Every structure is written in structure tokens, then in C-alpha cells.
Homo-oligomer: A and B are copies of this chain.
Amino acid sequence: MNLNDIHSPADIKGMSVENLKELSAAMRQALLTKLSATGGHVGPNLGMIEMAVALHYVFDSPVDKIVFDVSHQCYAHKMLTGRMKAFTDPAHYGEVSGFTNPAESAHDFFTIGHTSTGVSLAGGLAKARDMRGDHENIIAVVGDGSLSGGEAFEGLDYAATLGSNFIIIVNDNDMSIAPNEGGLYENLRLLRESDGNAEPNFFKAVGLDYRYVAYGNDVATLVDVFSSVKNIDHPVVLHICTQKGKGYAPAETEREHFHYTGPFDLPTGNPRSMDEREDYTDITADELLKMMAADPTVAAITAGTPGAIGFTPERRKAAGKQFIDVGIAEQEAVALASGMAKGGTKPCFCVVSSFLQRAYDQLSQDVSINNSPISLPIFYGSIYGMNDVTHLGWFDIALVSNIPGFVYLAPTCKEEYIAMLRWSIKQNKYPVAVRVPGGKVVSSRREFPDDYSELNRYEVTQRGKDVAIIAAGSFYGIGEQTAAALKEDGIEATLINPRYLSGLDEPLLTELEADHRVVVTLEDGVLDGGFGEKIARFYGAKPMEVKCYGIKKEFADRYNAAELAAAMRLRPDLIKADILKQLCKL
């Protein structure tokens, strides 16, 4: 079978079930070859090949509409919908994103990258179809791991009231990114063990029709099941069991590691390269383990992404009950932490910047209005973080620092990060977020204070005149280099590490007015709603000239960080040129 002959779902419609099996096998081989070279979401996609084949065999995409929740399990779907070469030809590997993408194909309906949204989005398509008076099938594919997110529940609850065609496929591989956590998963286990017959049944309990499919990697079974629900006149859940990592022994065994991995050696599954450099996830987890050992009320919390914050299975074991995984449920993580802080313990919710967006109201209401002293290390809040459009870490400064009462700290190096992290946990006065620096670990070998409770005191690391550079967090280095470059032209700039993204050091800023004419701000995030604008407003009615550097308010997809920085003039040579020009103008 030549995969490159398949240009659209039409090309598989005439196949026999035996052909479909061969097709699945060939796709699996191609997928493994590509993923071993590029990395990606290995486990979820290997488990979904037969499902994608059967879906496109039975349904008529894109008239029938398939929505993949989180969509990191859509590779086989992409292979069947005009994008085969991106999986079979190394020269084309880079041409598709790792998520569904309407810009790539009419078979993709949404750009998705956060979990638990698919049922709601597809429910909207179903409702629209009914209002338009049309009759196509609407299909949502959602993984068991995504069901812990509140939005998925809201979506199921509403779906039950639709009263029209809506096929919700629960792809149950008995695994989230890490093992599932939550009472619901006990019910899924019970359903798997009873061939779907047990009571209680979660899906029936939210008002949905329900069918159980034990062999979700058997294409013949799937074709039968999908055919039986095609054009169904009401919402139905198909609870389909698949195997994460199906058909590749290392991925079947090491399911958490192969959820998402870099390039690997195909015969053994070993990583192609081991990055031995320390990173901020290891630094965080090691520091938290030390603090847990010293104080039994310290707890680390994750919302389903332990690996992204350094908590490997070994470290989780070491932490014992002081490590809490609430499942993919950021709202719960934040509110639980607030309750724990009020209950006299020291919760530290470690979270990825992009995913923290799912808990804005909890940060404001459950935490900040209640002044709950939680610790909140925020990872990948940086242009050097994840670069898919759905995972940008650019918005957390505006998100967190504008909530009254929240203290948002921006450490500039490893040593300052550890000092701030430790203080955020030890103190009990404020909710404190710490922006884990982006990019490679920077060691300054400087010593830092162990107390940050006197808020909004910026650190002047170099006192000069005329120009002050306020360089926050990961961009402190750019500030340092800019100051050094200015020195070559005889300009002794003042260099400031603001430390606090959530407030102004008004006495210092006022003091600068005496012998400075230009203030430059640097921040590793979007300018709109960010740190620099607060400085600009402070000096608004004064003669000080303020230039803010950061990222323009826009979405970018799979960008190159260096190119993005240059486009935003976030480079010491460019900033120096701007400063010189500004000084001449004055």
C-alpha cells in the first residue's frame, strides 16, 4: 500500500476492512518513523490510528464534522485528509502543526491546544446545524484525561439537552498525560471492567445515551460501531477503549514518557540526545522536595502536568502525600490551594503559563479577594517557552499582575529564582506568583535577599545617569548587555532589576527624575496590559521619556524566538540605537 496515494478520505471509502487494517499498519509505521526523527505526541497518536481510519471511512468529512479535543491526537486524521506527505516525506515533516489547524485543511474546524474544550466547540457546531436546518453528523473526540477539566463537564451537561445528532467519542486509554486522578476515573475503570454495564455510569448520569466499545484499536469493530450511530437523532457517548502507544513496545510500556517526547531511537525507544544541563523544572522540584522534607505542611500541586514542572515519578514518590495531582483541572488546583493556605498549610501550585489562563477567576476570587498566601511558580512564561499558538506564555504578566493583592515576582537568574520561590512558600502575607525565568538556566552567582515582604522595592544594580534600563525577569540579561553597549559610547546607564511585576517602586522612579531623561522597560511578555505600561503611566504627566520593549499584542504560531525578539527590537544593539536616537532628539 502506498500511503502517498491517499489524498483525501475519498481514497479510503472503497477499501475492504482488510485494506483498512493494512492502511492502519502502514500509517503506524510511517508515524513512528517520523516521530522518532522529530518527536511529538507519540502515545496518543499511536492509539488513535484505527479510530481515525474508521471515522473517515464511515463519516463524510468535512460535511460531517470531527472535532478533536486538545487535538494532539489528530496526526492520523491529518494523514488521511490531504497532508500525508508531512508524515511520509522528511522534506515535508515541518509542514503541519501538532494540532488541528483550519489553515491547513477544510477537515480541521478549530485551532485547539488546551484540553477539555472539544465537546463544547463541537456542541456549538451541532447547535448551529440545527438552527440552520441541516443534518450532518457532528462528532467530538475527547480523551479520558480531558474529562477532569470543568469545561468538558459543562460541555457534556449541555450536550445532553441538544435533542439532536451529536456523537461524543470518549477515547479511553486509561491515562492522562500522567496517570489519571479523580473519582471519575474509578467509574471509568468500573465501566471498563464490566464491559460498560456497571452502575453508576457517569455519562448516563449527565443525561447521555451510552455505548461501550472494548476494542478501540480494531478497525472492523470501529467501522461497525460508527456505522450504527451515523445519522443518530440524539446525543450519544461512545466509550471506546484504546491503547496509548499501541503497536510500539516502548510507548506501550513507558506511557507517561511517550505521551510527548523528543526524537528517539526507533529500535530501543531511547532518546536521541540527553540534555544533561540543569533546567528550571529540576531546580524547582529539588527545591520543593527539600522544603517538604523540612516542613510537612508544604505541598506541591499540579493540574495534570507533573512532568512539565519537574515532578518525575521518582520525585512524586519521594514527595508522597505532599505531592498533589488534581488532574487537568486548573480551577480546582487554584481553589484547593486557597483552601489549603487558609487551613494553615503551604500549598505551591506549579503551573504552565498558558494553562494558568484557565483559572483567572479563581486567582481573583478564591485566592486574592481572600488574601490566601499561596505560592504560584509560573513556568514557560517567556518567548523562550512553548511556541505553538495555543501554548504561548506571553499573557501571564497582564493576567496576574493586574489582580489586586497578587504579588508577582520576576527573578533574573537561578539564584534569585530559588530565593523568591523559597520566600513565596515561607511567607504567609500575600498570594505570591513567581515567574520562572525562560530559556537556559542563567547563574549569576550573586546572593539575594531571603525576604521580599517589603513590596515593590526595585534593585538598582548599576547607578548611572541620563538613561535608566528597567529590565524584568528573563530579559534582565538584555538590559545588562544594553547597558554594556551604551558604555562603549560613554553613556553610563542606570540598570534596574524591578523584581516586582505587580507594583511600582514610586520613590525610586521619582528619584530617577533628578538626573535621568529616558527610561527603558524590558519585559518578556505582551506589552498591552503589562509591566512597561505601568511605568509609562507613572511618568505620563512628567518630562521623563519612556520606551517600552516587549511583545506586540498578536498571536504567533511556531515562531523562532530570536527572530521574534529582533522583530520587536528586543536586542541590545537595537535598543542601544533607539536610546541614542532618543537622547539626540531631546
**Chain A residues in contact with chain B, CB under 8 A?**
67, 102, 109-114, 117, 120-132, 148-161, 181-184, 186-187, 199-202, 204-208, 296-297, 299, 321-322, 324, 326-327, 329, 331-332, 335-345, 347, 357-358, 360-362, 364-366, 368-370, 389-390, 395, 398-399, 401-405, 518, 526-530, 532-534, 536-537, 539-542, 545-548, 553-555, 582
Contact A537 B548 (CB under 8 A): yes
Bound: A159/B582 CA distance, A: 58
A336: chain B residues at CB < 8 Å are 120-121, 123-124, 127, 155, 158
Contact A339 B540 (CB under 8 A): no
Contact A534 to B528, CB < 8 A, known contacts A200-B201, A200-B205, A335-B117? yes
Bound: A441/B321 CA distance, A: 56
Bound: A331/B357 CA distance, A: 12
Contact A345 B132 (CB under 8 A): yes
Contact A205 to B202, CB < 8 A, known contacts A123-B339, A161-B182? yes
Contact A401 to B151, CB < 8 A, known contacts A120-B366, A158-B327? no
A527: chain B residues at CB < 8 Å are 537
Name 17 interchain pairs, CB-CB below 8 A, sorted by A.
Answer: A123-B332, A128-B344, A128-B345, A129-B343, A132-B343, A148-B154, A149-B154, A150-B331, A158-B181, A158-B336, A187-B207, A200-B201, A401-B528, A405-B555, A537-B537, A537-B548, A540-B548
Contact A370 B183 (CB under 8 A): no
Contact A160 to B131, CB < 8 A, known contacts A366-B120, A540-B539? no
A405: chain B residues at CB < 8 Å are 554-555
- Distance (whole angstroms) from the CB of A55 to the closest CB of chain B: 19
Closest 5 CB pairs of A and B: A124-B339, A150-B150, A160-B183, A183-B207, A128-B343
In the complex, the count of this chain's copies comes to 2
Specify the chain B residue showing the minimal Cβ separation from A391.
Answer: B365
A530: chain B residues at CB < 8 Å are 529
Contact B332 A154 (CB under 8 A): yes
A181: chain B residues at CB < 8 Å are 158, 161
A389: chain B residues at CB < 8 Å are 369
Specify the chain B residue showing the minimal Cβ separation from A110.
Answer: B370
A398: chain B residues at CB < 8 Å are 398, 402, 529
Contact A124 B340 (CB under 8 A): yes
Bound: A345/B123 CA distance, A: 13
Bound: A111/B371 CA distance, A: 10
A532: chain B residues at CB < 8 Å are 537
A297: chain B residues at CB < 8 Å are 128, 131-132
Bound: A48/B454 CA distance, A: 44
Bound: A322/B113 CA distance, A: 30
Contact B324 A127 (CB under 8 A): yes
Interface residue from B161, B395, B546, B554 paired with A364 (Cβ < 8 Å): B395
Contact A362 to B151, CB < 8 A, known contacts A339-B121, A344-B132? yes
Interface residue from B125, B361, B537 paired with A360 (Cβ < 8 Å): B361
Bound: A186/B339 CA distance, A: 31
